[in-house]
Amino acid sequence: MARGLKNWTFREVTKFLQDHGFYLSKIKGSHYFYIKKAEKECIVEVNFLTGGKSYPPLTMKTMIINSGISEQEWRNWICK
């Protein structure tokens, strides 16, 4: 299970994005593109990881910035 920005899996990231209004726009190879249309269109690229691997913290930070959702919201969601 994820803690803070560590140990987030592909499933957790995509579930978080979907819970926050993002939808799958396209798949290009192992990259999934999630989009949310709001005042400013946000596009988050999520690389598919196999075997339950987790994303490095810097990759998570990039996805957080691209989502336009605060890091605190990501942390709060995973603690539910």
DSSP 8-class letter at 39: S
Share of the chain above pLDDT 70, in %: 96
Q: Which pLDDT value is given to residue 2?
A: 59
Q: How confident is the model at residue 1 (pLDDT cuts 50, 70, 90)?
A: low
User: 10-68 adopts what CATH topology?
Assistant: Metal Transport, Frataxin; Chain A (3.30.920)
> How big is the chain by its Cα radius of gyration, in Å?
12
Asked whether 36 and 22 are in contact (CB, 8 A), the reply is yes
pLDDT in tens, 29-65: 999 999 998 778 899 999 998 777 899 989 999 999 9
What mean pLDDT value characterizes the chain?
90
Q: 0.75 cut: is pTM over it?
A: yes
